[in-house]
Structure 1
């Protein structure tokens, strides 16, 4: 059976029917052909494009020295899926992916090049939408627990109430405070942070309220305190649970009257400052024990943010690690691409008593010995390679680790929702049928109560 090669008209019909833009150029980079999709993506009619240099038509980030067609002609090798931007006829920046090939005569003589390009605007918009769901400011998380925190930040930022952030050491309380400040109408004013637990009582007082010249021996000139420095903005008081009852009384007065007295001053000063307090202590228990004033506790516990520890949101570890890798690559000029699967397994099995701060330190430590490629287990600090880890089956790998984490997440979600599988599925962001299937697949032991009874 004989086969007839497609005619020129048939080739043209094929090019007109595809959704990717296609154009060809001669050896002088003048456009020879320009299909319908190329017209639609660029907004430039083919009669205007044909005969012009391709760089004049596309105004791309990949023109000049970055020209992909030039690279293909030099190397003789096609490029596939290279990404960049072009500027359309209306001046809009259009993300594209492109592929190139050399055009040759039958005898092998190079006569030009061909390029196909795809509009990635919808893909990029979807990626931005998905990233928006997982990121607020510098905070990043896929965890349902953190999604609850994310959803609360904007309304908290829009209010003027005092904020109390609770969480273990290293969970990112200051980052939450900075995000609230950035989202608020005080963002153009200072964010001033003070660790109350790092200072003795007498020094803490002068740091907060400042002093006047002559207030004490050595006070030769006025010094503004943190309340003055934070005027119009936010004062972040970390480790609020460590301050004395006497200091709690002074801060309570500031919150109630919006004034404070610098040491040695007889004239109160106005405090236009929003307070965000944070602690890793159980303040309610400290109130019961009598070491924390109940009135002060209720005054700062108005808008509250509870940060879960990293061990309760291990699904965030890959996301956080990639953020840290991008940061340290930019900072140190390295080319680390990511984690080896065995490395991720070790990170997922760790309990993270130091939370996100410990994870960041582990990645930074790995960067000391890893300059490019993947972070291997040998690049991690020694505590990740201890007996507890090496006793696990060597072939468990990433898949087993992910299953372990998945089982824990589903179990915890069902328990938090009193056995109600539908409510747990909503919290996890999955369909109820998916939840039931995973419960069966992973053989998860769950409470017998289904959460729908009134008992």
Structure 2
């Protein structure tokens, strides 16, 4: 996937927003519903696009209930309106919404857009929230990630060994945990071992256990992680750091489902599902004689390769929203939004530490944020921040989507050294449209 500055697509942007977005035309028929709106309201856009709004989002006690219809009739935007509705699952939702008019190039009103988020929800009495184990810690809608998510339910039902490959911080353990949580072994142990954090002798004892007197300091018998994971799942993180001698013993467990404790000759049978992960190139390690070929293929029955965050930028807004919810709860805060300028900075950052780094950035931002909007100054200093001007702030308050578009246009202009022809081609718009947007957004070099 190419980066935003080179392939700006308005629909992609709308689909990436964590807030729900619904657009109507001037006939009060629904033009567009983004995935977040589908998820929040429990609807499918195919059931609504082309149909009338018909009180999709209602304001309790208001004479004119549909906010979008109200905006179309008055041609006046609404800002931060609290409204109530019930989704298809019967949840009573309290929403905070803003609306604005859609206008054509002649400044004629052609429709209206609502942007909303859920600020509270309540399930009907006697009902409990459905437990979605699969996506408890896994977030994203990127096509490459969706392929992985779609693989997990079927793969989880098997005992097949899985090798998860990807850079540090890409969420390998979240995938491993999802596989266990959706498996028939979910009620049994899930044991994680960081193979790279333990010295060779200690790792062998940690994995397989030892008997009393096996070595100096072994004052009693000790169960290893494989025994503790019996009938469950063992997750071997950083498998590429395991020594060749320990690799031999791992291979035996995978082939024969048995091992001996250190210092013992009695075999112990074990029923364990093995999931391994690495941030190293195991093929290269294999070619260099540092990783056994037979173990590699035993582990790699089903390979899963996680893309780095810089290759799934369309997931960044969703991940930001997820981490905001997590840290709001932990810190007892109510930070609800990310300013368009901040969002643009976060989307275009390279993330050498991947999802883990983004999580740390959002935690840092919430610590510093005393309001309800994350601003550029709340981000860590080592992240390059674009400073806002008075035009940014004015647009941000009134039309957050336009603010995002303005920021992205500026970035592409800078990438193209303000060459209008090249910029319009990369934005996939005409030069006339580019000039009009620059005029509308007060963009000057």
Once the two structures are overlaid, the 10-residue window that deviates more, 163-172 or 144-153, is 144-153
Q: Is 1:83 the equivalent of 2:84?
A: yes
Alignment deviations for residues 315-362 of structure 1 (CA, whole Å, 9 cap, x no partner)? 111110111011011111011112111111111121001000000000
Aligned to 1:432: none
Q: TM-score by structure 1 length? A: 0.60
Alignment deviations for residues 355-382 of structure 1 (CA, whole Å, 9 cap, x no partner)? 0000000011112211331011111100
Cα 1:161–1:261, aligned 2, differ >3 Å: closer, same or farther?
Answer: same
Contact preservation (8 Å) 1:165, 1:278: yes
Matches of 1:404 and 1:259 in 2, distance apart?
61
**Aligned pairs for 1:392-431 within 5 A:** 398-399=404-405
Matches of 2:356 and 2:185 in 1, distance apart?
27
Contact preservation (8 Å) 1:337, 1:372: no
Contact preservation (8 Å) 1:206, 1:263: yes
Q: Greater helix share, 1 or 2?
A: 1
**Aligned pairs for 1:220-239 within 5 A:** 220-239=219-238
Matches of 1:288 and 1:246 in 2, distance apart?
17
Alignment deviations for residues 201-251 of structure 1 (CA, whole Å, 9 cap, x no partner)? 000000000111222222222111110111111110111111111111110
Higher Cα Rg, which structure:
1
Matches of 2:255 and 2:195 in 1, distance apart?
20
SS of residue paired to 2:345 = helix
SS of residue paired to 2:383 = helix
Contact preservation (8 Å) 2:157, 2:183: yes
SS of residue paired to 1:275 = strand
SS of residue paired to 1:319 = helix
1:441 corresponds to which of 404, 423, 429: 429
SS of residue paired to 2:180 = helix
Q: Structure 2: any 5+ residue segments left out of the alignment?
A: 1-53, 62-79, 96-117, 124-129, 393-401, 413-424, 432-445
Cα 1:331–1:132, aligned 2, differ >3 Å: closer, same or farther?
Answer: closer
**Aligned pairs for 1:265-304 within 5 A:** 265-304=264-303
SS of residue paired to 1:139 = coil
Q: Is 1:169 the equivalent of 2:164?
A: no
Matches of 1:309 and 1:143 in 2, distance apart?
12
Contact preservation (8 Å) 1:349, 1:401: no
Q: Is 1:95 the equivalent of 2:92?
A: yes
SS of residue paired to 1:194 = strand
1:401 is displaced (CA, Å) by 5.6
SS of residue paired to 1:136 = coil
SS of residue paired to 1:252 = helix
Matches of 1:442 and 1:215 in 2, distance apart?
76
Cα 1:376–1:249, aligned 2, differ >3 Å: closer, same or farther?
Answer: same
1:296 is displaced (CA, Å) by 0.7
Aligned to 2:213: 214
**Aligned pairs for 1:62-73 within 5 A:** none
Cα 1:209–1:402, aligned 2, differ >3 Å: closer, same or farther?
Answer: farther
Contact preservation (8 Å) 2:351, 2:357: yes
**Aligned pairs for 1:18-417 within 5 A:** 82-83=83-84, 95=92, 136-385=135-384, 398-399=404-405
Q: TM-score by structure 2 length? A: 0.61
Contact preservation (8 Å) 1:195, 1:237: yes
RMSD of aligned C-alpha atoms?
3.8
Cα 1:271–1:361, aligned 2, differ >3 Å: closer, same or farther?
Answer: same
Q: Structure 1: any 5+ residue segments left out of the alignment?
A: 1-17, 25-78, 87-91, 99-119, 126-130, 407-436, 444-455
Alignment deviations for residues 283-330 of structure 1 (CA, whole Å, 9 cap, x no partner)? 111111221111111110101111000000111111101110110111
The alignment covers a number of residue pairs equal to 303
Matches of 1:212 and 1:399 in 2, distance apart?
65
RCO comparison, higher one (Cα < 8 Å, 6+): 2
Matches of 1:23 and 1:354 in 2, distance apart?
45
Matches of 2:143 and 2:191 in 1, distance apart?
30
Matches of 1:85 and 1:267 in 2, distance apart?
62
SS of residue paired to 2:280 = coil
Matches of 2:191 and 2:254 in 1, distance apart?
17
1:270 is displaced (CA, Å) by 1.1
1:95 is displaced (CA, Å) by 3.2
Aligned to 1:416: none
1:385 is displaced (CA, Å) by 3.1
SS of residue paired to 1:235 = strand
1:83 is displaced (CA, Å) by 3.0
Matches of 1:96 and 1:373 in 2, distance apart?
20
1:442 is displaced (CA, Å) by 8.2
